[in-house]
Structure 1
Amino acid sequence: MSHSDATTPAAPATVPAAGRIKAVILLAMLGFLLLVPMFLYPIFLMKILCFALFAAGFNLLLGYTGLLSFGHAAFFGGGAYFTAHAVKVWGLSPELGILVGVAGAAGLGLIMGLIAIRRQGIYFAMITLALSQMFFFFCLQAAFTNGEDGIQSVPRGTFLGVLDLSNQINMYYFVLGVFLAGMLAIWRIINSPFGMILKSIRENEARATSLGYTVARYKLAAFVMSAAIAGLAGSVKSLVFQFATLTDVGWQMSGEVILMTLLGGIGTLIGPVIGAGLVVTLQNYLATSPLPVTVITGVVFMVCVLLFRRGLVGEFYASRIGRSLGFKSDS
């Protein structure tokens, strides 16, 4: 036995009941989501769910494909604008309005993706930022967005003609259902053969190309899927708050979703959800603080980056307990 073999610590053995423990954790989280509106303000909870889905969709591109976009606010805000207009002006039902928002965001993703994926690294990021700002100014000038006033008083309507979404509890469970469906879709994507190819592109694009994969096509598909999920989050958000404004498409929104993802842990399914919950909670409960919320959020971000290099969930996955339970990060 070599000296290096003798001194290298063995990886912790997986707990025999790790699968059952993970199932219990999952059920506990689901039970918490079902019961929490009895104790906390539903609007606050729905905001967390919307931004959690937004961050999870962004992480599909960054954490699993390795593409950093500075322009995801275009899809989030675009979905919000398209849904708000479809529901308020066209009189569509909420489910159809959301479909319009998702389709519009996916279309934007296709157009932006076709332009952006021609470059890599910081050039890709800067192109997405530039295109997002172009869409911001389009929303500022377009007639259907009402400029700086935005689209206000968006009716929530009735889901499938049965569930009255004007009721806060009904709306919460509707948003929860959309959130869970979106997370399930992301889980299915990253655990499919398509998801394995995305991870291989992230790790070594040249090798993926040498294996015969059309890398540009897979990148574009991931970009459109991520845009569609971001649009879904924005669409639901416009129904929750009953308005869509320029804030939804501003570059600050793109920065926030990057912050949420990094805080929670890129390359983890649940990390962006935790990061979004942390950021939204800070914004909500520190809104009356004499210090600017952005300053406090920035300090929290710096502390987390210094202490938790992989993000909160990423560090847990890398810990002895996380590894013994079979958790792993794909970053």
Structure 2
Amino acid sequence: MSDASQTMDNAPGRRGRGVRIVMLLALLVALLIAPFMLYPIFVMNVLCFALFAAAFNLLLGYTGFLSFGHAAFFGGGAYFTANAVKEWGWSPEMGIALGVLGAAALGLVMGLIAIRRQGIYFAMITLALSQMFFFYAVQSSWTHGEDGIQSVPRGKLFGFIDLNNTETMYFFVLAIFLIGMGIIWRFVNSPFGMILKSIRENEQRTISLGYAVNRYKLGAFVMSAALAGLAGATKSLVFQFATLTDVAWQMSGEVILMTLLGGIGTLIGPIVGAALVVTLQNYLATSDVPVTIVIGAVFMICVLVFRRGLVGEFYRSRLGRRLGFDPEP
């Protein structure tokens, strides 16, 4: 093949990388100026749920396992952090670290049980285990039952950065969001991530190649749980409480909805889906229109018209292909 032909073949890839870089820079600039243009608490809520959805997508989109129990990790991280910061007087960074470790531990226990099954059986096991944690949170004294853990102090980051300032708290949440997304990107684009994709496509062939499939599944499950815990821990500091809503099965349903709307198996899709759902919930909360009906209608339209989600369909569109995006199967 001539040099000219190789240049023509590589042009879409280079153009796609350039477009992605420009889009990422534009998104970063938008996030930096967002607290000065929008209500900061609203944007922080979007970032927390976007990270939660991206963590869930790590398991569903890149490994092919549908979990109905991710609320346990999200809410567990929130409870662990809220209790450590309020009752034990821990600093916010140490409280968040405990929330992540606690969620990872929950993920390890639940994963060891759930990965033994596939399909609907896997989903039902995760739902059952998540509900067990929910009822534990209802009855446990340290979670304060239906009252939850309230008036959680934000404290001072590293002992001198006051997180009670809303703008300071926003940039702290933004930093956590970017770190979490960076971890997911690195995880997906590593050899480990390639094996997860092969498990999703053909698990039996992956086994025949000599890979210990269950170890990779468990690793993906624990990583997804830890990042979901990071999102929940951060949210508990943003709103300064942790309640049963964070561990209820409806929360697992919401994160599934966010991921499906945005696009399964795409890095940006869950972020778009989370932003759409949180925005609808926020702006319809004070209206007479039932929020659940509107979100259900949006979901139904997306399922009928955008089978791969908003971002997934864009990647497969003529414009997306011309820009050099590589659609996931």
- TM-score by length of structure 1 reads 0.95
Given that residues 15 and 324 in structure 2 are in contact (C-alpha distance below 8 angstroms), is that contact kept between their aligned partners in structure 1? Answer: no
SS at match of 2:182: helix
Aligned position for 1:127? 125
Say if 1:248 and 1:16 are closer, same or farther in 2 by CA, change over 3 A.
closer
Whole-Å separation in 2 of the counterparts to 1:193 and 1:66: 17
Whole-Å separation in 2 of the counterparts to 1:283 and 1:174: 24
Whole-Å separation in 2 of the counterparts to 1:330 and 1:319: 12
Residue among 203, 207, 210 paired with 1:209: 207
Residue among 273, 292, 295 paired with 1:294: 292
Q: How does 1:149-168 map to 2 (within 5 A)?
A: 149-168=147-166
* Paired AA for residue 290 in structure 1: D
**How far is 1:325 from its partner?**
2.0
**How far is 1:289 from its partner?**
2.1
Aligned position for 1:45? 43
Is it true that 1:172 corresponds to 2:170 in the alignment?
yes
Residue among 56, 59, 67 paired with 2:57: 59
Aligned position for 2:274? 276
Given that residues 73 and 107 in structure 2 are in contact (C-alpha distance below 8 angstroms), is that contact kept between their aligned partners in structure 1? Answer: yes
* Deviations 1:196-255 (CA, angstroms, capped at 9, x unpaired): 000000000000000000111110000000000000000000000000000000000000
Whole-Å separation in 1 of the counterparts to 2:71 and 2:299: 20
**How far is 1:161 from its partner?**
1.5
Aligned position for 2:232? 234
Aligned position for 1:110? 108
**How many pairs does the alignment contain?**
321
* Paired AA for residue 324 in structure 1: R
Whole-Å separation in 2 of the counterparts to 1:248 and 1:260: 16
Unaligned segments of structure 1, at least 5 residues: 1-10
Given that residues 12 and 323 in structure 1 are in contact (C-alpha distance below 8 angstroms), is that contact kept between their aligned partners in structure 2? Answer: no
Whole-Å separation in 2 of the counterparts to 1:177 and 1:238: 16
**How far is 1:24 from its partner?**
1.3
**How far is 1:294 from its partner?**
0.7
Aligned position for 1:7? none
**How far is 1:16 from its partner?**
5.2
Given that residues 12 and 320 in structure 1 are in contact (C-alpha distance below 8 angstroms), is that contact kept between their aligned partners in structure 2? Answer: no
Q: How does 1:186-225 map to 2 (within 5 A)?
A: 186-225=184-223
**How far is 1:276 from its partner?**
0.1
Q: How does 1:304-319 map to 2 (within 5 A)?
A: 304-319=302-317
Question: Runs of 4 or more off by more than 6 Å in structure 1?
Answer: none
Whole-Å separation in 2 of the counterparts to 1:213 and 1:95: 37
Whole-Å separation in 2 of the counterparts to 1:271 and 1:122: 24
Say if 1:262 and 1:12 are closer, same or farther in 2 by CA, change over 3 A.
farther
Aligned position for 2:3? none
SS at match of 1:229: helix
Given that residues 267 and 329 in structure 1 are in contact (C-alpha distance below 8 angstroms), is that contact kept between their aligned partners in structure 2? Answer: no
Aligned position for 1:266? 264
Whole-Å separation in 2 of the counterparts to 1:85 and 1:22: 40
Aligned position for 1:244? 242
**How far is 1:327 from its partner?**
1.5
* Deviations 1:267-324 (CA, angstroms, capped at 9, x unpaired): 0000000000000000000012222101110000001111100000000111112122
* Paired AA for residue 245 in structure 2: T
Unaligned segments of structure 2, at least 5 residues: 1-8
* Paired AA for residue 286 in structure 2: T
Say if 1:110 and 1:15 are closer, same or farther in 2 by CA, change over 3 A.
closer
The percentage of counterpart residues that share the same residue type is: 73
* Paired AA for residue 32 in structure 2: L
Given that residues 12 and 324 in structure 1 are in contact (C-alpha distance below 8 angstroms), is that contact kept between their aligned partners in structure 2? Answer: no
* Deviations 1:158-200 (CA, angstroms, capped at 9, x unpaired): 1112211000000000000000000000000000000000000
**How far is 1:260 from its partner?**
0.1
CA RMSD of aligned residues (A): 1.3
* Paired AA for residue 319 in structure 1: S
* Deviations 1:74-105 (CA, angstroms, capped at 9, x unpaired): 00000000000000001000000000000000
**How far is 1:326 from its partner?**
2.1
Whole-Å separation in 2 of the counterparts to 1:16 and 1:110: 40
Given that residues 63 and 330 in structure 1 are in contact (C-alpha distance below 8 angstroms), is that contact kept between their aligned partners in structure 2? Answer: no
* Deviations 1:97-144 (CA, angstroms, capped at 9, x unpaired): 000000000000000000000000000000000000000000000110
**How far is 1:23 from its partner?**
1.2
Q: How does 1:28-43 map to 2 (within 5 A)?
A: 28-43=26-41
* Paired AA for residue 182 in structure 1: G
Whole-Å separation in 2 of the counterparts to 1:212 and 1:16: 35
Aligned position for 1:21? 19
Given that residues 304 and 311 in structure 1 are in contact (C-alpha distance below 8 angstroms), is that contact kept between their aligned partners in structure 2? Answer: yes
